[in-house]
């Protein structure tokens, strides 16, 4: 028991009351963390399904995009496709913000501005083919899916880290702190009971000594009357 008790706590009734309140808070915290852990696991499983679907769409779109690129290269030549690609203007940085899932910050990755508006591709329609436009559209969709996949994967990683952290906290409360508090309470209660027994024994002994003294005084007084 002495190895499990919390060190530095005096065995008094005040400390015992404090420990009882502390145990109550620890158990409430344990229950709340368990609820959070279970809710996050359910959310994690839902996100895994979404991520699997995004990955499937990403792989499918990737195959289609490179097939369309091959067709465009056959019609316009690799040089023509390369020239069209170099003509595409910079559409700026990809915006990233944060949102929260049960207190966990996860990224929200935006998309680039749509390149399909007039002039958005940078190259003219003369000298290019429809196959090149189709390939460009497919790669735009591929990029959007890749950004969604990155967002989903990052979210899964952060949720998984938070689940693991919450599990460690639950285990620490369940296997370390709460048992330590309970053991310390028992230690203090045993100490207080021992003090109570000692006090009771002391009171009984003091009472017995007083009774013996009183009996002895009466006996001496009786002997004096007989002598007179």
Best-predicted range by mean pLDDT (3-17, 20-34, 106-120, 213-227): 20-34
- The predicted pLDDT at position 83 comes to 78
- The predicted pLDDT at position 3 comes to 53
Q: Is residue 186 part of a domain?
A: no
Q: Above 90 in pLDDT, residue 124?
A: no
**How many angstroms separate the CA atoms of 18 and 20, rounded?**
5
**How many angstroms separate the CA atoms of 105 and 110, rounded?**
16
Centroid of chain to Cα 108: 19
| Number of domains the chain contains | 1
Q: Is residue 187 part of a domain?
A: no
**How many angstroms separate the CA atoms of 136 and 112, rounded?**
14
Q: Is residue 39 part of a domain?
A: yes
- The predicted pLDDT at position 70 comes to 92
Q: Is residue 164 part of a domain?
A: no
Q: Above 60 in pLDDT, residue 116?
A: no
Q: Is residue 168 part of a domain?
A: no
Please give the share of the chain, as a percent, with pLDDT higher than 90: 50
**How many angstroms separate the CA atoms of 75 and 172, rounded?**
66
Sign of CA dihedral 135, 137, 141, 146: positive
CATH number of the domain within which 135 lies = 1.10.287.3240
**Domain that residue 104 falls in:** 24-156
Q: pLDDT of 202-228, one tens digit each?
A: 888 887 877 777 777 665 555 544 444
Q: pLDDT of 179-198, one tens digit each?
A: 999 999 999 999 998 888 88
Sign of CA dihedral 19, 24, 28, 33: positive
For residue 91, CA distances in Å to 116, 117, 121, 154, 168 come to 12, 12, 10, 24, 44
Q: Above 80 in pLDDT, residue 26?
A: yes
Would you place residue 38 in the very low, low, confident or very high pLDDT band (cuts 50, 70, 90)?
very high
The average pLDDT across 10-35 equals 93
Please give the model's pTM, rounded to 2 decimal places: 0.72
- 155 in Cβ contact with 163 (< 8 Å): no
**How many angstroms separate the CA atoms of 16 and 191, rounded?**
11
Q: Which residues pair with 93 in a beta bridge?
A: none
Q: Is residue 55 part of a domain?
A: yes
Q: Is residue 33 part of a domain?
A: yes
**How many angstroms separate the CA atoms of 95 and 12, rounded?**
59
Count other Cβ atoms within 10 Å, centred on residue 77.
11
Would you place residue 62 in the very low, low, confident or very high pLDDT band (cuts 50, 70, 90)?
very high
Q: Above 60 in pLDDT, residue 115?
A: no
Q: Above 60 in pLDDT, residue 1?
A: no
The DSSP output letter for 105 is: E
Residue where the block lists tokens 């599990």: 167
**How many angstroms separate the CA atoms of 215 and 129, rounded?**
127
Q: Above 60 in pLDDT, residue 72?
A: yes
- The predicted pLDDT at position 220 comes to 58
Best-predicted range by mean pLDDT (86-95, 103-112, 121-130): 103-112
Q: Above 80 in pLDDT, residue 79?
A: yes
- 179 in Cβ contact with 10 (< 8 Å): no
Q: Is residue 188 part of a domain?
A: no
């Amino acid at each position: 028991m002495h190895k499990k008790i919390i060190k530095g706590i005096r065995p008094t009734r005040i400390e015992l009351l404090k420990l009882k309140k502390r145990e109550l808070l620890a158990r409430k915290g344990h229950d709340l963390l368990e609820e959070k852990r279970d809710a996050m696991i359910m959310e994690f499983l839902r996100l895994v399904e979404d991520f699997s679907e995004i990955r499937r769409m990403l792989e499918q779109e990737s195959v289609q995009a490179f097939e369309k690129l091959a067709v465009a290269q056959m019609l316009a030549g690799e040089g023509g496709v390369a020239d069209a690609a170099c003509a595409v203007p910079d559409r700026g940085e990809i915006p990233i913000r944060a949102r929260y899932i049960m207190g966990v910050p996860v990224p929200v990755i935006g998309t680039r501005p749509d390149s399909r508006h007039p002039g958005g591709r940078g190259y003219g329609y003369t000298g290019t083919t429809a196959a090149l436009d189709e390939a460009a559209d497919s790669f735009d969709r591929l990029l959007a899916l890749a950004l969604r996949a990155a967002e989903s994967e990052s979210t899964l990683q952060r949720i998984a880290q938070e689940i693991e952290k919450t599990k460690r906290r639950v285990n620490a409360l369940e296997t370390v702190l709460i048992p330590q508090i309970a053991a310390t309470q028992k230690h203090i209660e045993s100490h207080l009971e021992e003090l109570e027994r000692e006090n009771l024994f002391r009171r009984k002994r003091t009472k017995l000594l007083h009774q013996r003294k009183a009996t002895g005084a009466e006996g001496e007084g009786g002997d004096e009357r007989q002598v007179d």
